[in-house]
Chain A
Protein backbone atom coordinates (compact mmCIF):
# COMPACT_ATOMS: atom_id res chain seq x y z
CA UNK A 1 0.00 0.00 0.00
CA UNK A 2 1.39 3.32 -1.03
CA UNK A 3 0.97 6.31 1.25
CA UNK A 4 2.40 9.77 1.25
CA UNK A 5 4.73 10.48 4.16
CA UNK A 6 3.42 13.07 6.56
CA UNK A 7 5.07 16.46 6.84
CA UNK A 8 4.77 17.80 10.39
CA UNK A 9 1.63 19.94 10.47
CA UNK A 10 2.59 22.23 13.33
CA UNK A 11 5.09 25.05 13.12
CA UNK A 12 6.50 26.53 9.96
CA UNK A 13 6.98 24.10 7.09
CA UNK A 14 8.88 26.31 4.69
CA UNK A 15 11.57 28.46 6.25
CA UNK A 16 13.50 31.05 4.26
CA UNK A 17 16.47 32.49 6.05
CA UNK A 18 18.24 35.46 4.49
CA UNK A 19 17.47 34.04 1.08
CA UNK A 20 19.29 36.04 -1.58
CA UNK A 21 19.70 35.56 -5.31
CA UNK A 22 21.80 37.97 -7.33
CA UNK A 23 22.28 38.12 -11.06
CA UNK A 24 25.40 40.23 -11.30
CA UNK A 25 24.61 43.53 -9.56
CA UNK A 26 20.87 43.03 -9.52
CA UNK A 27 19.29 41.18 -6.62
CA UNK A 28 16.20 39.22 -7.72
CA UNK A 29 15.61 38.14 -4.14
CA UNK A 30 17.24 40.12 -1.34
CA UNK A 31 17.63 38.82 2.19
CA UNK A 32 14.20 37.23 2.38
CA UNK A 33 13.42 35.80 5.80
CA UNK A 34 10.06 34.14 6.05
CA UNK A 35 8.18 31.26 7.61
CA UNK A 36 5.28 29.63 5.85
CA UNK A 37 2.79 27.81 8.03
CA UNK A 38 0.70 24.75 7.26
CA UNK A 39 -3.08 24.58 7.15
CA UNK A 40 -3.60 27.85 5.36
CA UNK A 41 -3.17 29.41 1.97
CA UNK A 42 -0.29 31.85 1.93
CA UNK A 43 -0.73 34.31 -0.90
CA UNK A 44 2.47 35.49 -2.48
CA UNK A 45 2.08 38.93 -4.03
CA UNK A 46 4.37 41.40 -5.68
CA UNK A 47 4.73 43.41 -8.87
CA UNK A 48 6.16 41.75 -11.96
CA UNK A 49 9.82 41.02 -11.44
CA UNK A 50 9.51 41.27 -7.65
CA UNK A 51 11.13 37.86 -7.27
CA UNK A 52 8.12 35.59 -6.65
CA UNK A 53 9.02 33.00 -9.27
CA UNK A 54 12.69 33.17 -8.39
CA UNK A 55 11.83 32.52 -4.74
CA UNK A 56 9.84 29.44 -5.74
CA UNK A 57 12.68 28.22 -7.95
CA UNK A 58 15.07 28.68 -5.03
CA UNK A 59 12.78 26.74 -2.70
CA UNK A 60 12.69 23.78 -5.10
CA UNK A 61 16.40 23.92 -5.83
CA UNK A 62 16.05 24.69 -9.55
CA UNK A 63 18.20 27.74 -8.90
CA UNK A 64 20.87 27.97 -6.23
CA UNK A 65 20.77 30.92 -3.81
CA UNK A 66 23.68 33.36 -3.73
CA UNK A 67 23.37 33.26 0.05
CA UNK A 68 20.88 32.23 2.70
CA UNK A 69 18.76 29.13 2.70
CA UNK A 70 15.34 27.77 1.88
CA UNK A 71 14.32 24.70 3.87
CA UNK A 72 11.26 22.49 3.65
CA UNK A 73 10.55 20.53 6.80
CA UNK A 74 14.08 21.42 7.89
CA UNK A 75 15.83 20.17 4.78
CA UNK A 76 16.79 21.61 1.40
CA UNK A 77 14.63 20.32 -1.46
CA UNK A 78 17.40 18.17 -2.94
CA UNK A 79 17.74 16.34 0.38
CA UNK A 80 14.09 15.25 0.49
CA UNK A 81 13.85 11.51 0.29
CA UNK A 82 10.63 11.50 -1.71
CA UNK A 83 10.42 15.01 -3.16
CA UNK A 84 7.21 14.44 -5.11
CA UNK A 85 5.42 13.03 -2.07
CA UNK A 86 6.49 15.95 0.07
CA UNK A 87 6.33 18.93 -2.26
CA UNK A 88 4.16 19.51 -5.31
CA UNK A 89 5.15 22.39 -7.52
CA UNK A 90 3.58 24.19 -10.44
CA UNK A 91 6.21 26.69 -11.49
CA UNK A 92 5.64 27.20 -15.18
CA UNK A 93 3.04 26.06 -17.66
CA UNK A 94 5.77 24.94 -20.01
CA UNK A 95 7.05 21.97 -18.07
CA UNK A 96 5.94 19.06 -20.24
CA UNK A 97 7.49 18.01 -23.54
CA UNK A 98 5.01 18.83 -26.33
CA UNK A 99 5.67 15.48 -28.02
CA UNK A 100 4.55 13.43 -25.05
CA UNK A 101 0.97 12.58 -24.16
CA UNK A 102 -0.42 13.97 -20.93
CA UNK A 103 -0.59 10.51 -19.44
CA UNK A 104 2.95 9.47 -20.37
CA UNK A 105 4.28 12.79 -19.02
CA UNK A 106 2.69 12.02 -15.65
CA UNK A 107 3.55 8.33 -15.81
CA UNK A 108 7.25 9.09 -16.18
CA UNK A 109 7.17 11.43 -13.19
CA UNK A 110 5.21 8.89 -11.16
CA UNK A 111 7.71 6.12 -11.93
CA UNK A 112 10.58 8.24 -10.67
CA UNK A 113 9.29 7.68 -7.15
CA UNK A 114 7.33 4.44 -7.38
CA UNK A 115 3.95 6.15 -7.46
CA UNK A 116 1.44 3.68 -8.98
CA UNK A 117 -0.13 4.26 -12.41
CA UNK A 118 -3.63 4.38 -10.91
CA UNK A 119 -2.62 7.55 -9.12
CA UNK A 120 -1.81 9.04 -12.55
CA UNK A 121 -5.32 8.24 -13.73
CA UNK A 122 -6.76 9.61 -10.49
CA UNK A 123 -5.07 13.01 -10.84
CA UNK A 124 -5.99 13.20 -14.54
CA UNK A 125 -9.59 12.67 -13.46
CA UNK A 126 -9.25 15.25 -10.68
CA UNK A 127 -8.06 17.98 -13.05
CA UNK A 128 -10.53 17.01 -15.76
CA UNK A 129 -8.07 15.80 -18.38
CA UNK A 130 -9.15 12.16 -18.58
CA UNK A 131 -10.65 12.55 -22.05
CA UNK A 132 -7.41 14.02 -23.46
CA UNK A 133 -5.01 11.85 -21.43
CA UNK A 134 -3.64 10.22 -24.57
CA UNK A 135 -3.35 13.43 -26.58
CA UNK A 136 -0.03 15.13 -27.07
CA UNK A 137 0.73 18.07 -24.80
CA UNK A 138 1.70 20.12 -27.86
CA UNK A 139 -1.96 20.28 -28.85
CA UNK A 140 -3.06 21.58 -25.43
CA UNK A 141 -4.31 25.09 -24.70
CA UNK A 142 -2.65 27.11 -21.95
CA UNK A 143 -5.51 26.22 -19.59
CA UNK A 144 -5.09 22.52 -20.28
CA UNK A 145 -1.35 22.77 -19.69
CA UNK A 146 -2.03 24.48 -16.37
CA UNK A 147 -4.35 21.63 -15.41
CA UNK A 148 -1.65 19.14 -16.40
CA UNK A 149 0.85 21.04 -14.26
CA UNK A 150 -1.56 20.93 -11.33
CA UNK A 151 -2.01 17.19 -11.90
CA UNK A 152 1.77 16.76 -11.76
CA UNK A 153 1.96 18.80 -8.56
CA UNK A 154 -0.72 16.65 -6.91
CA UNK A 155 0.70 13.34 -8.16
CA UNK A 156 2.54 12.46 -4.96
CA UNK A 157 -0.28 13.70 -2.69
CA UNK A 158 2.22 16.12 -1.12
CA UNK A 159 1.89 18.03 2.13
CA UNK A 160 3.38 21.17 0.60
CA UNK A 161 2.21 22.87 -2.59
CA UNK A 162 3.97 25.67 -4.42
CA UNK A 163 1.72 27.14 -7.09
CA UNK A 164 3.01 29.96 -9.26
CA UNK A 165 0.14 31.71 -11.06
CA UNK A 166 -2.03 28.58 -11.27
CA UNK A 167 -5.06 30.42 -12.64
CA UNK A 168 -3.19 31.64 -15.73
CA UNK A 169 -5.11 30.63 -18.81
CA UNK A 170 -8.01 29.06 -16.92
CA UNK A 171 -11.58 29.95 -17.84
CA UNK A 172 -13.97 31.25 -15.13
CA UNK A 173 -15.10 27.70 -14.30
CA UNK A 174 -11.48 26.64 -14.05
CA UNK A 175 -10.69 29.60 -11.79
CA UNK A 176 -13.49 28.68 -9.42
CA UNK A 177 -12.47 25.03 -9.52
CA UNK A 178 -8.87 25.78 -8.59
CA UNK A 179 -9.90 28.20 -5.85
CA UNK A 180 -12.01 25.48 -4.23
CA UNK A 181 -9.27 22.91 -4.74
CA UNK A 182 -6.67 25.16 -3.10
CA UNK A 183 -8.99 25.99 -0.19
CA UNK A 184 -9.67 22.30 0.39
CA UNK A 185 -5.98 21.37 0.21
CA UNK A 186 -5.17 23.92 2.90
CA UNK A 187 -8.17 22.80 4.97
CA UNK A 188 -6.67 19.30 4.97
CA UNK A 189 -3.67 20.75 6.79
CA UNK A 190 -1.38 21.17 3.80
CA UNK A 191 0.96 24.09 3.32
CA UNK A 192 0.05 26.11 0.25
CA UNK A 193 2.13 28.94 -1.19
CA UNK A 194 0.17 30.57 -3.99
CA UNK A 195 1.29 33.40 -6.21
CA UNK A 196 -1.14 35.28 -8.36
CA UNK A 197 -1.40 38.69 -9.90
CA UNK A 198 -5.21 38.52 -9.76
CA UNK A 199 -6.02 40.46 -6.61
CA UNK A 200 -9.68 39.56 -6.37
CA UNK A 201 -8.72 35.93 -6.76
CA UNK A 202 -6.16 36.23 -4.01
CA UNK A 203 -8.62 38.00 -1.73
CA UNK A 204 -10.99 35.05 -2.08
CA UNK A 205 -8.37 32.35 -1.68
CA UNK A 206 -5.56 33.39 0.66
CA UNK A 207 -5.60 33.41 4.47
CA UNK A 208 -2.22 34.99 4.87
CA UNK A 209 -0.28 37.32 2.65
CA UNK A 210 3.37 37.71 1.89
CA UNK A 211 4.08 40.78 -0.22
CA UNK A 212 7.46 41.35 -1.80
CA UNK A 213 8.76 44.16 -3.95
CA UNK A 214 12.13 44.32 -5.66
CA UNK A 215 13.09 41.09 -3.96
CA UNK A 216 12.45 42.42 -0.47
CA UNK A 217 9.75 41.58 2.05
CA UNK A 218 7.12 44.32 2.29
CA UNK A 219 4.44 42.59 4.34
CA UNK A 220 3.89 39.26 6.02
CA UNK A 221 0.51 39.30 7.74
CA UNK A 222 -2.95 37.73 7.86
CA UNK A 223 -5.07 39.01 4.99
CA UNK A 224 -7.51 40.71 7.40
CA UNK A 225 -4.68 42.73 8.85
CA UNK A 226 -3.44 43.81 5.42
CA UNK A 227 -6.94 44.91 4.43
CA UNK A 228 -7.59 46.54 7.80
CA UNK A 229 -4.39 48.53 7.58
CA UNK A 230 -5.41 50.20 4.37
CA UNK A 231 -6.27 53.90 4.41
CA UNK A 232 -8.99 53.04 1.93
CA UNK A 233 -11.22 51.61 4.67
CA UNK A 234 -13.91 54.26 5.04
CA UNK A 235 -17.51 54.89 5.97
CA UNK A 236 -19.96 56.23 3.43
CA UNK A 237 -22.64 58.55 4.81
CA UNK A 238 -25.61 60.01 2.93
CA UNK A 239 -27.48 62.77 4.65
CA UNK A 240 -29.59 65.79 3.64
CA UNK A 241 -27.43 67.76 6.11
CA UNK A 242 -24.13 66.49 4.76
CA UNK A 243 -22.25 69.75 5.06
CA UNK A 244 -23.22 70.21 8.70
CA UNK A 245 -22.24 66.63 9.48
CA UNK A 246 -18.99 67.15 7.66
CA UNK A 247 -18.03 69.98 9.98
CA UNK A 248 -18.94 68.00 13.07
CA UNK A 249 -16.94 64.97 11.91
CA UNK A 250 -13.90 67.04 11.02
CA UNK A 251 -14.17 68.66 14.44
CA UNK A 252 -14.14 65.17 16.00
CA UNK A 253 -10.83 64.52 14.26
CA UNK A 254 -12.02 62.41 11.35
CA UNK A 255 -11.02 62.89 7.72
CA UNK A 256 -13.89 63.64 5.38
CA UNK A 257 -14.21 63.76 1.61
CA UNK A 258 -17.27 64.59 -0.46
CA UNK A 259 -17.51 62.28 -3.39
CA UNK A 260 -20.96 63.61 -4.40
CA UNK A 261 -23.95 65.80 -3.51
CA UNK A 262 -25.27 64.82 -0.06
CA UNK A 263 -22.60 62.14 0.31
CA UNK A 264 -19.49 62.05 2.44
CA UNK A 265 -16.74 59.51 2.85
CA UNK A 266 -15.23 59.33 6.33
CA UNK A 267 -11.99 57.79 7.43
CA UNK A 268 -10.69 57.63 10.98
CA UNK A 269 -14.02 56.76 12.59
CA UNK A 270 -16.15 53.65 13.03
CA UNK A 271 -19.77 53.20 11.97
CA UNK A 272 -20.77 53.43 15.64
CA UNK A 273 -18.85 56.66 16.26
CA UNK A 274 -20.38 58.37 13.24
CA UNK A 275 -23.88 57.09 13.94
CA UNK A 276 -23.78 58.31 17.54
CA UNK A 277 -22.35 61.68 16.60
CA UNK A 278 -25.09 62.21 14.00
CA UNK A 279 -27.76 61.25 16.52
CA UNK A 280 -26.40 63.64 19.15
CA UNK A 281 -26.55 66.54 16.70
CA UNK A 282 -29.88 65.56 15.24
CA UNK A 283 -28.52 64.95 11.76
CA UNK A 284 -30.75 62.55 9.81
CA UNK A 285 -28.91 59.76 8.00
CA UNK A 286 -30.12 58.05 4.80
CA UNK A 287 -27.17 55.73 4.60
CA UNK A 288 -24.34 54.71 6.88
CA UNK A 289 -22.20 51.94 5.40
CA UNK A 290 -18.70 50.60 5.50
CA UNK A 291 -16.54 50.84 2.37
CA UNK A 292 -13.89 48.18 2.77
CA UNK A 293 -10.62 48.46 0.96
CA UNK A 294 -10.14 45.80 -1.66
CA UNK A 295 -6.98 43.79 -1.64
CA UNK A 296 -6.01 45.60 -4.78
CA UNK A 297 -6.17 48.97 -3.02
CA UNK A 298 -4.30 47.70 0.03
CA UNK A 299 -1.73 46.09 -2.20
CA UNK A 300 -1.22 49.20 -4.30
CA UNK A 301 -0.55 51.20 -1.16
CA UNK A 302 1.92 48.63 0.11
CA UNK A 303 3.86 48.32 -3.11
CA UNK A 304 3.60 51.95 -4.25
CA UNK A 305 7.07 52.72 -2.94
CA UNK A 306 8.68 49.73 -4.56
CA UNK A 307 6.95 50.22 -7.92
CA UNK A 308 7.84 53.93 -7.90
CA UNK A 309 11.45 53.12 -7.20
CA UNK A 310 11.44 50.65 -10.04
CA UNK A 311 10.09 53.22 -12.48
CA UNK A 312 12.50 55.88 -11.42
CA UNK A 313 15.39 53.52 -11.81
CA UNK A 314 14.21 52.46 -15.25
CA UNK A 315 14.41 56.02 -16.55
Chain B
Protein backbone atom coordinates (compact mmCIF):
# COMPACT_ATOMS: atom_id res chain seq x y z
CA UNK B 1 0.00 0.00 0.00
CA UNK B 2 2.96 2.31 0.68
CA UNK B 3 3.99 2.02 -2.95
CA UNK B 4 0.47 2.74 -4.15
CA UNK B 5 0.32 5.90 -2.05
CA UNK B 6 3.71 7.06 -3.31
CA UNK B 7 2.57 6.35 -6.88
CA UNK B 8 -0.65 8.34 -6.53
CA UNK B 9 1.13 11.15 -4.68
CA UNK B 10 3.74 11.42 -7.44
CA UNK B 11 1.09 11.38 -10.15
CA UNK B 12 -0.96 14.07 -8.41
CA UNK B 13 1.93 16.47 -7.92
CA UNK B 14 3.58 15.90 -11.28
CA UNK B 15 0.70 17.63 -13.06
CA UNK B 16 0.69 21.40 -13.20
CA UNK B 17 -3.07 21.46 -12.81
CA UNK B 18 -2.75 20.32 -9.17
CA UNK B 19 -0.92 23.34 -7.70
CA UNK B 20 -2.86 25.65 -10.01
CA UNK B 21 -6.26 24.43 -8.91
CA UNK B 22 -5.22 24.66 -5.26
CA UNK B 23 -3.99 28.21 -5.78
CA UNK B 24 -7.20 29.08 -7.63
CA UNK B 25 -9.30 27.65 -4.80
CA UNK B 26 -7.36 29.68 -2.29
CA UNK B 27 -7.72 32.86 -4.33
CA UNK B 28 -11.46 32.33 -4.69
CA UNK B 29 -11.82 31.65 -0.97
CA UNK B 30 -9.88 34.76 0.02
CA UNK B 31 -11.81 36.90 -2.43
CA UNK B 32 -15.14 35.38 -1.41
CA UNK B 33 -14.37 35.77 2.30
CA UNK B 34 -13.50 39.43 1.79
CA UNK B 35 -16.67 40.11 -0.19
CA UNK B 36 -18.97 38.19 2.17
CA UNK B 37 -17.27 39.60 5.26
CA UNK B 38 -17.39 43.15 3.91
CA UNK B 39 -21.01 42.94 2.83
CA UNK B 40 -22.02 41.42 6.16
CA UNK B 41 -20.55 44.46 7.83
CA UNK B 42 -22.38 46.77 5.42
CA UNK B 43 -25.66 44.93 6.02
CA UNK B 44 -25.22 45.19 9.78
CA UNK B 45 -24.70 48.94 9.42
CA UNK B 46 -28.08 49.03 7.69
CA UNK B 47 -29.62 47.07 10.52
CA UNK B 48 -29.61 43.62 8.90
CA UNK B 49 -27.52 41.05 10.71
CA UNK B 50 -26.68 38.06 8.53
CA UNK B 51 -23.65 36.48 10.16
CA UNK B 52 -22.51 35.88 13.62
CA UNK B 53 -18.87 34.88 13.11
CA UNK B 54 -16.10 35.35 10.58
CA UNK B 55 -15.71 31.57 9.89
CA UNK B 56 -19.33 31.54 8.71
CA UNK B 57 -18.48 34.11 6.06
CA UNK B 58 -15.71 31.76 4.93
CA UNK B 59 -18.20 28.90 4.62
CA UNK B 60 -20.12 30.97 2.06
CA UNK B 61 -16.92 31.55 0.14
CA UNK B 62 -15.97 27.86 0.22
CA UNK B 63 -19.33 26.89 -1.25
CA UNK B 64 -18.24 28.86 -4.29
CA UNK B 65 -14.58 27.86 -4.34
CA UNK B 66 -15.36 24.15 -3.87
CA UNK B 67 -15.78 23.64 -7.62
CA UNK B 68 -12.06 23.83 -8.38
CA UNK B 69 -11.43 21.15 -5.75
CA UNK B 70 -14.16 19.00 -7.27
CA UNK B 71 -12.48 19.39 -10.67
CA UNK B 72 -9.10 18.44 -9.21
CA UNK B 73 -10.47 15.26 -7.64
CA UNK B 74 -12.48 14.32 -10.74
CA UNK B 75 -9.46 14.78 -13.01
CA UNK B 76 -7.34 12.48 -10.82
CA UNK B 77 -9.30 9.57 -12.28
CA UNK B 78 -10.92 10.88 -15.49
CA UNK B 79 -7.55 12.21 -16.66
CA UNK B 80 -6.23 8.65 -16.49
CA UNK B 81 -8.93 7.47 -18.86
CA UNK B 82 -8.67 10.39 -21.28
CA UNK B 83 -4.86 10.18 -21.51
CA UNK B 84 -4.68 6.40 -21.59
CA UNK B 85 -2.41 6.38 -18.53
CA UNK B 86 -4.93 4.12 -16.80
CA UNK B 87 -3.20 1.20 -18.54
CA UNK B 88 0.18 2.00 -16.97
CA UNK B 89 -1.52 2.61 -13.64
CA UNK B 90 -3.20 -0.80 -13.71
CA UNK B 91 0.00 -2.48 -14.89
CA UNK B 92 1.70 -1.09 -11.82
CA UNK B 93 -1.19 -1.68 -9.41
CA UNK B 94 -3.32 -4.47 -10.90
CA UNK B 95 -5.51 -4.85 -7.83
CA UNK B 96 -8.17 -2.30 -8.64
CA UNK B 97 -9.54 -1.76 -5.15
CA UNK B 98 -6.03 -0.97 -3.99
CA UNK B 99 -5.60 1.56 -6.80
CA UNK B 100 -8.87 3.28 -5.88
CA UNK B 101 -8.05 3.23 -2.16
CA UNK B 102 -4.66 4.81 -2.90
CA UNK B 103 -6.27 7.60 -4.90
CA UNK B 104 -8.93 8.14 -2.22
CA UNK B 105 -6.37 8.41 0.58
CA UNK B 106 -4.06 10.75 -1.29
CA UNK B 107 -6.87 12.99 -2.55
CA UNK B 108 -8.56 12.97 0.84
CA UNK B 109 -5.35 14.03 2.56
CA UNK B 110 -4.40 16.71 0.03
CA UNK B 111 -7.87 18.18 -0.41
CA UNK B 112 -8.77 17.82 3.29
CA UNK B 113 -5.48 19.57 4.13
CA UNK B 114 -6.36 22.28 1.65
CA UNK B 115 -9.71 22.65 3.47
CA UNK B 116 -7.95 23.37 6.78
CA UNK B 117 -5.83 25.99 5.09
CA UNK B 118 -8.77 27.56 3.25
CA UNK B 119 -10.71 27.96 6.46
CA UNK B 120 -7.77 29.47 8.33
CA UNK B 121 -6.77 31.91 5.58
CA UNK B 122 -10.40 32.78 4.80
CA UNK B 123 -11.11 33.53 8.46
CA UNK B 124 -7.98 35.65 8.69
CA UNK B 125 -9.24 37.60 5.65
CA UNK B 126 -12.84 38.07 6.80
CA UNK B 127 -12.22 38.77 10.50
CA UNK B 128 -10.52 42.21 10.16
CA UNK B 129 -13.26 43.33 7.75
CA UNK B 130 -16.03 42.25 10.11
CA UNK B 131 -14.59 43.61 13.34
CA UNK B 132 -16.86 43.08 16.36
CA UNK B 133 -19.57 41.58 14.17
CA UNK B 134 -17.42 38.66 13.16
CA UNK B 135 -16.12 37.86 16.62
CA UNK B 136 -15.43 34.16 17.16
CA UNK B 137 -13.78 31.91 19.69
CA UNK B 138 -10.74 29.76 19.05
CA UNK B 139 -12.96 26.71 19.44
CA UNK B 140 -15.30 27.98 16.70
CA UNK B 141 -12.36 28.58 14.39
CA UNK B 142 -11.03 25.06 14.92
CA UNK B 143 -14.48 23.52 14.44
CA UNK B 144 -14.93 25.51 11.22
CA UNK B 145 -11.52 24.43 9.92
CA UNK B 146 -12.20 20.75 10.69
CA UNK B 147 -15.68 21.05 9.23
CA UNK B 148 -14.33 22.58 6.03
CA UNK B 149 -11.64 19.90 5.77
CA UNK B 150 -14.24 17.18 6.27
CA UNK B 151 -16.62 18.67 3.72
CA UNK B 152 -14.09 19.16 0.92
CA UNK B 153 -12.56 15.73 1.59
CA UNK B 154 -16.05 14.24 1.21
CA UNK B 155 -16.49 16.17 -2.04
CA UNK B 156 -13.19 14.66 -3.26
CA UNK B 157 -14.51 11.15 -2.53
CA UNK B 158 -17.79 11.86 -4.32
CA UNK B 159 -15.93 13.26 -7.33
CA UNK B 160 -13.48 10.33 -7.38
CA UNK B 161 -16.24 7.74 -7.12
CA UNK B 162 -18.45 9.35 -9.75
CA UNK B 163 -15.45 9.96 -12.04
CA UNK B 164 -14.55 6.27 -11.80
CA UNK B 165 -18.05 5.33 -12.89
CA UNK B 166 -18.43 7.92 -15.68
CA UNK B 167 -14.73 8.02 -16.77
CA UNK B 168 -15.18 11.38 -18.48
CA UNK B 169 -14.22 14.73 -16.92
CA UNK B 170 -17.02 16.73 -18.55
CA UNK B 171 -19.85 14.49 -17.38
CA UNK B 172 -18.43 14.11 -13.90
CA UNK B 173 -17.80 17.79 -13.27
CA UNK B 174 -21.11 18.91 -14.80
CA UNK B 175 -23.07 16.41 -12.68
CA UNK B 176 -21.32 17.57 -9.54
CA UNK B 177 -21.77 21.26 -10.24
CA UNK B 178 -25.50 20.63 -10.71
CA UNK B 179 -25.65 18.52 -7.57
CA UNK B 180 -23.85 21.08 -5.44
CA UNK B 181 -25.20 24.45 -6.56
CA UNK B 182 -28.64 24.55 -8.25
CA UNK B 183 -30.07 21.26 -6.96
CA UNK B 184 -30.61 22.31 -3.32
CA UNK B 185 -32.16 25.61 -4.41
CA UNK B 186 -34.41 24.04 -7.05
CA UNK B 187 -35.61 21.38 -4.66
CA UNK B 188 -36.34 24.01 -2.02
CA UNK B 189 -38.41 26.00 -4.51
CA UNK B 190 -41.10 23.37 -4.71
CA UNK B 191 -44.04 23.20 -2.34
CA UNK B 192 -43.64 19.51 -1.76
CA UNK B 193 -42.57 18.80 1.76
CA UNK B 194 -40.70 15.59 1.02
CA UNK B 195 -38.65 17.25 -1.73
CA UNK B 196 -37.73 19.99 0.66
CA UNK B 197 -36.65 17.39 3.22
CA UNK B 198 -34.70 15.48 0.62
CA UNK B 199 -32.82 18.64 -0.33
CA UNK B 200 -31.46 18.73 3.21
CA UNK B 201 -29.67 15.50 2.51
CA UNK B 202 -27.66 16.93 -0.40
CA UNK B 203 -23.93 17.20 0.19
CA UNK B 204 -23.66 20.98 -0.02
CA UNK B 205 -26.42 21.45 2.58
CA UNK B 206 -24.67 19.04 4.94
CA UNK B 207 -21.37 20.74 4.13
CA UNK B 208 -22.77 24.11 5.06
CA UNK B 209 -23.90 22.76 8.44
CA UNK B 210 -20.53 21.14 9.03
CA UNK B 211 -18.59 24.31 8.19
CA UNK B 212 -20.75 26.70 10.23
CA UNK B 213 -21.73 24.46 13.13
CA UNK B 214 -25.37 25.45 12.54
CA UNK B 215 -28.21 23.45 14.03
CA UNK B 216 -30.51 23.92 11.02
CA UNK B 217 -31.74 21.60 9.47
CA UNK B 218 -29.65 19.25 11.65
CA UNK B 219 -26.44 19.44 13.65
CA UNK B 220 -22.84 18.68 12.66
CA UNK B 221 -22.93 14.99 13.72
CA UNK B 222 -25.85 14.33 11.37
CA UNK B 223 -24.12 16.38 8.65
CA UNK B 224 -21.00 14.23 9.04
CA UNK B 225 -23.11 11.11 8.68
CA UNK B 226 -24.79 12.46 5.53
CA UNK B 227 -21.43 13.27 3.93
CA UNK B 228 -20.00 9.92 4.96
CA UNK B 229 -22.89 8.11 3.27
CA UNK B 230 -22.42 10.13 0.07
CA UNK B 231 -18.67 9.43 0.08
CA UNK B 232 -19.04 5.73 0.70
CA UNK B 233 -21.81 5.35 -1.86
CA UNK B 234 -19.68 7.07 -4.52
CA UNK B 235 -16.59 5.01 -3.71
CA UNK B 236 -18.50 1.74 -3.63
CA UNK B 237 -20.08 2.63 -6.97
CA UNK B 238 -16.65 3.46 -8.38
CA UNK B 239 -15.20 0.22 -7.06
CA UNK B 240 -18.03 -1.78 -8.58
CA UNK B 241 -17.45 -0.14 -11.96
CA UNK B 242 -13.68 -0.73 -11.76
CA UNK B 243 -14.13 -4.36 -10.84
CA UNK B 244 -16.72 -5.25 -13.39
CA UNK B 245 -15.52 -3.30 -16.43
CA UNK B 246 -12.55 -3.64 -18.73
CA UNK B 247 -9.98 -0.91 -18.38
Contacts and interface: CB of A to CB of B under 8 A. Distances in A.
Interface of A: 57, 60-64, 77-78, 80, 83-84, 87, 89, 91-92, 94-101, 104-105, 107-109, 111-114, 152
Contacts of A95: 84-85, 87-88
Nearest to A84: B92
Contacts of A152: 88
Identify whether the interface residues of B are mostly helix, strand, loop, or mixed.
helix
A36 to B, nearest CB: 18
Contacts of A108: 7, 10-11, 14
Residue picked from B14, B88, B90, most chain A C-beta under 10 Å? B88
B14 A104 contact: yes
Contact of B246 (A62, A77, A104): A62
A246 B159 CA distance: 78
Given A104-B10, A112-B4, A113-B3, A60 B91 contact: yes
Given A94-B84, A111-B10, A89 B91 contact: yes
A62 B85 CA distance: 12
B85 A96 contact: yes
B247 A94 contact: no
Contacts of B14: 100-101, 104-105, 107-108
B237 interface: no
A91 B87 contact: yes
Residue picked from A60, A77, A92, A112, most chain B C-beta under 10 Å? A112
B95 A78 contact: yes
B229 to A, nearest CB: 30
Interface residues on B, range: 20 to 34
Given A100-B15, A113-B3, A107 B10 contact: yes
Given A83-B94, A100-B15, A112-B92, A94 B83 contact: yes
* Interface pairs A-B: 5 shortest CB-CB: A104-B14, A112-B7, A94-B84, A108-B10, A111-B6
A5 to B, nearest CB: 15
Nearest to B15: A99
Contacts of A60: 90-91, 94
B7 to A, nearest CB: 4
A236 B3 CA distance: 62
B88 A109 contact: yes
7 contacts: A57-B247, A64-B246, A87-B91, A95-B85, A97-B79, A104-B10, A108-B7
Identify whether the interface residues of A are mostly helix, strand, loop, or mixed.
loop
Given A97-B15, A101-B14, A104-B14, A112 B93 contact: yes
B85 A83 contact: no
A113 B89 CA distance: 12
A113 B95 contact: no
Given A64-B246, A94-B84, A97-B80, A109 B94 contact: no
A97 B247 contact: no
B16 A99 contact: yes
Nearest to B6: A111
Nearest to B91: A89
A113 B15 contact: no
Interface in B46-99: 79-80, 83-85, 87-88, 90-95
B175 interface: no
B88 A96 contact: yes
A63 B87 contact: no
